[in-house]
């Protein structure tokens, strides 16, 4: 790789701020296409966003993950589908970096801008053969798949071993079919389509065990920076929570702008309405509190990684539960903004309603369903061990 110039975090945040107007202008086209425009993906590449958690040895920036999350959030203020695709595709640049080096070379050896989509639900049927497995299956919800040349698919290789054989399979574009089944109420522009494979061979070096991700006993031995010592369960699940938080702030910004001019049918100015003023202050404070919590938890994990220390399992359980509640709080708060914005929210194209629908769609992602993580957190108080590997 050639010499890599790494921008500052502040520079990347400014680049994200500067592209917000462009992303807003593409929102309608994105919804009609039911995927991001090619121009948006290229912009994210040109601005260096996909390099944030990519290893330096592959031409990336290898930065603190909080930079990745904040760029995601800024994008989400303008266009949540763009933020969702960026986060769910961009985080794979972290995961491929803990795969076997041979797999990394297959993906990035000729072009380090190649992207990977995913669907981690264990939908594959796998039969052992030689040094790998023959795989068939279909996975839904592979966001950004039209823009990617590889795919991460979940599988349980041996049902008798349960989660011990839960893996991520790395599959090249030539081996899978993309089925366009993405017709939805929200997140219309994410292109989260179905992936199908039929009797394809996946060699052992393209398989990553979740149990190894949990213990940080990953196949890769070359990317030794602290970024790659943080557990996959934390890196990934924060990535799928943050787009909603960005959209929540975007909905608040739209609510505030609308309140400056909005007058009710009874002649009441929104900017003098106590409900408007109180709601704006409460939601702004809630967003700040959520961010302070995320930043503190990520900093704690990175401090441990920088010192080559294991993150205490009870802390991992706490971080995991706390980030799983982000979407719940964003949905509840965004609904308040819809209700307080009056009758205009019933019309197509209303920005606050659109963001509410987008946020609500991500609440059903398995990583954002907080109930099981609440049980894990409660169990930790009572000294009960968890079997959850996504911590």
Q: What is the pLDDT of residue 143?
A: 98
Please say whether the beta carbons of 97 and 270 come within 8 A: no
Looking only at the bridges linking them, the beta strands covering 207-209 and 177-179 are unpaired
Nearest-angstrom CA–CA distance, 262 and 340 = 11
Whole-Å CA distances, 60 to 55, 67, 68, 112, 148: 5, 13, 12, 8, 18
Q: Which CATH class is domain 230-381?
A: mainly alpha
Burial class (CB within 10 angstroms; exposed 0-12, middle 13-18, buried 19+) of 199:
exposed
Q: How many residues does the chain have?
A: 391
**Report field, pTM of the whole predicted structure over 0.75:** yes
Please say whether the beta carbons of 170 and 152 come within 8 A: yes
Q: What are phi and psi of 389, to 5 degrees?
A: -95, 0
SS3 273: coil
Nearest-angstrom CA–CA distance, 155 and 165 = 8
Nearest-angstrom CA–CA distance, 26 and 274 = 35
9-98 adopts what CATH topology? Butyryl-Coa Dehydrogenase, subunit A; domain 1 (1.10.540)
Nearest-angstrom CA–CA distance, 154 and 148 = 17
Residue 118 pairs with which residues in a beta bridge? 152
Q: How does pLDDT run across 158-189, given as a tens digit for each residue? A: 999 988 999 999 999 999 999 999 999 999 99
Domain 116-215: give its CATH superfamily.
Butyryl-CoA Dehydrogenase, subunit A, domain 2 (2.40.110.10)
Q: How does pLDDT run across 83-138, given as a tens digit for each residue? A: 999 999 999 999 999 999 999 999 999 999 999 999 999 999 999 999 999 999 99
Nearest to 323 by CA among 301, 284, 297: 297
Ordered per-residue pLDDT tens for the chain, 391 residues: 445 799 999 999 999 999 999 999 999 999 999 999 999 999 999 999 999 999 999 999 999 999 999 999 999 999 999 999 999 999 999 999 999 999 999 999 999 999 999 999 999 999 999 999 999 999 999 999 999 999 999 999 999 998 899 999 999 999 999 999 999 999 999 999 999 999 999 999 999 999 999 999 999 999 999 999 999 999 999 999 999 999 999 999 999 999 888 877 777 787 888 999 999 999 999 999 999 999 999 999 999 999 999 999 999 999 999 999 999 999 999 999 999 998 899 999 999 999 999 999 999 999 999 999 999 999 999 999 988 999 9
Sheet order of strands, 150-156 included:
177-179, 193-203, 132-142, 116-129, 150-156, 166-172, 207-209
Please say whether the beta carbons of 170 and 133 come within 8 A: no
CA angle at residue 152 from 148 to 156, to 5 degrees?
Answer: 160
Domains in the chain: boundaries: 9-98, 116-215, 230-381
Nearest-angstrom CA–CA distance, 371 and 231 = 21
Q: What is the pLDDT of residue 163?
A: 87
Q: What is the pLDDT of residue 273?
A: 87
Q: Where are the beta strands (DSSP E) in the chain?
A: 116-129, 132-142, 150-156, 166-172, 177-179, 193-203, 207-209
């Amino acid at each position: 790789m050639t010499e890599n110039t790494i921008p500052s975090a502040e520079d990347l945040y400014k680049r994200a701020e500067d592209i917000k107007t462009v992303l807003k202008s593409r929102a309608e086209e994105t919804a009609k296409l039911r995927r991001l425009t090619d121009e948006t993906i290229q912009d994210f590449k040109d601005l260096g966003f996909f390099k944030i958690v990519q290893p330096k040895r592959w031409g990336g920036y290898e930065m603190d993950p909080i930079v990745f999350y904040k760029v995601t959030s800024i994008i989400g203020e303008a266009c949540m589908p763009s933020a969702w695709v960026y986060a769910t595709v961009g985080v794979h640049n972290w995961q491929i970096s803990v795969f076997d080096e041979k797999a990394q070379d297959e993906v990035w050896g000729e072009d380090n801008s190649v992207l990977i989509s995913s669907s981690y639900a264990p939908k594959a049927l796998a039969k052992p053969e030689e040094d790998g497995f023959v795989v068939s299956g279909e996975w839904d919800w592979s966001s950004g798949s039209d823009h990617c040349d590889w795919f991460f698919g979940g599988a349980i290789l041996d049902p008798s071993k349960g989660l011990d054989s839960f893996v991520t399979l790395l599959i090249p574009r030539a081996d899978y079919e993309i089925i366009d089944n993405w017709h939805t109420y929200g997140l219309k522009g994410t292109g989260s389509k179905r992936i199908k494979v039929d009797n394809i061979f996946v060699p052992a070096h393209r398989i990553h065990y979740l149990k190894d991700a949990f213990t940080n006993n990953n196949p890769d031995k070359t990317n030794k920076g602290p970024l790659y010592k943080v557990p996959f369960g934390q890196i990934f699940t924060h990535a799928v929570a943050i787009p909603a938080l960005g959209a929540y702030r975007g909905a608040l910004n739209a609510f505030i702008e609308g309140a400056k001019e909005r007058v009710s049918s009874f002649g009441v100015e929104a900017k003098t309405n106590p409900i408007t003023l109180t709601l704006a202050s409460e939601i702004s404070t809630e967003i700040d509190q959520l961010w302070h919590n995320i930043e503190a938890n990520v900093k704690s994990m990175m401090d441990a990684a920088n010192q080559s220390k294991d993150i205490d399992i009870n802390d991992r359980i706490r971080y995991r539960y706390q980030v799983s509640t982000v979407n719940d709080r964003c949905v509840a708060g965004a609904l308040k903004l819809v209700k307080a914005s009056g009758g205009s929210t019933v019309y197509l194209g209303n920005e606050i309603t659109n963001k509410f629908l987008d946020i609500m769609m991500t609440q059903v992602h398995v990583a954002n369903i907080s109930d099981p993580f609440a049980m894990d957190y409660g169990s930790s108080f009572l000294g009960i061990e968890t079997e959850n590997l996504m911590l």
